[in-house]
A = this chain, B = another copy of it.
């Protein structure tokens, strides 16, 4: 099969961008801004089904972004949609929760070893922020230690930019280096007995950068540091959650956090996040102020129950790890055959591809544009996400597209 290059002019996308420029500052914000993509990349989308997506100009792609993580079973998975549809026939946002609130709480406490309780919210940032307040309430301290450059959401204390951030917003946040216990000790010494928590992602997965797996001694060292100092260990699993394990990601190291933060893949695209915590800090979790208009909505909880049941029944985590491994092994081989030095990093279920000596992601963008022209959608400066909807045939077609993308890149480097 010879892949057909997509050469359409993206007219609908361009027209929507022009309209968006008028009613949205800069025309776009968040993940979708054009500067992260290649010239002519689609910004507006029309539909998705399983492992495939269509942009507003009708071009079809195999989807390796999965809506930035949530679509762990692919778009409109029939079993998830059935559960959603049944709940939509009863109640979504109500005067209070439905019984699904209890069922999902029980399931999460059952799945995640360290967890004794849960609090549901909407954004990942809602629960990373709530984790800080619970840790502060539990310890009576203020300072939170964060790995330099780690994304924990867009709220004030975690903002990746300075615009609009006031000094107080980060007054109690200080920074260490991921996988570097010495840097943790050094920053800790500046805060005496005031460290409420250390918050960290199970894998270092910063946009635009190679991923870095946590060293087991780093995970154990963080746990010991917290046990010694009385600080709480918060694992931000918003991106990794249910992609490495159906448990907290460091349970395999034998390292349990005190608090863990979940969202993205929890409900296959329906908006939900959850803070899970250990028994010892239940009272602190009760004491802090929390709540939101849509936090009790039942439809995302129905989606979460179906999503997690499917992952469990169909061994979904193993499947996405396997499929991702197949794909990245193929990509490494293609790169070697083209004599293009690349790095593949991160867990296979959320891999990242980068190119040696790639200034401003220029090679990655050329490569991603080549893949897109052959019907494969990936982001050149952010890790990808594998879904259980990705078939063996999809992997095979994806590798035809990536092979062509390496051809394109060879022609220009």
Contact = CB atoms under 8 A, between A and B. Distances in A.
A32 interface: yes
Contact of A287 (B44, B161, B167): B161
A292 B123 contact: yes
A114 interface: no
Interface stretch (A1-9, A89-97, A388-396): A89-97
Most buried by B among A63, A84, A89, A290: A290
A119 interface: yes
A360 interface: no
A317 interface: no
Given A44-B96, A294-B271, A164 B70 contact: no
Contact of A98 (B44, B75, B264): B44
A124 B246 CA distance: 31
B24 A105 contact: yes
Interface in A161-206: 161, 163-172
Contact of A126 (B31, B42, B123): B123
A269 B93 contact: yes
A263 B164 CA distance: 22
Contacts of A122: 122-123, 271, 294
Interface string A97-110: 11101100110110
Contacts of A102: 16, 19-20, 23-24, 44
Given A32-B97, A93-B71, A164-B287, A119 B294 contact: no
Contact of A284 (B19, B119, B163): B163
Interface stretch (A150-158, A208-216, A220-228, A335-343): A150-158
Nearest to A285: B25
A45 B163 contact: no
A125 interface: yes
A133 interface: yes
Contacts of A30: 290-292, 295-296
Given A47-B91, A70-B93, A98-B44, A124 B284 contact: no
A249 interface: no
9 contacts: A19-B106, A30-B292, A48-B90, A63-B95, A69-B293, A70-B294, A155-B156, A238-B293, A271-B271
Interface of A: 12, 16, 19-20, 22-26, 28-32, 42-48, 53, 56, 63, 65, 67-71, 75-76, 81, 84, 88-99, 101-102, 105-106, 108-109, 116-119, 122-126, 129, 132-137, 142, 153-157, 159-161, 163-172, 238, 263-264, 269-271, 277, 282-297, 377
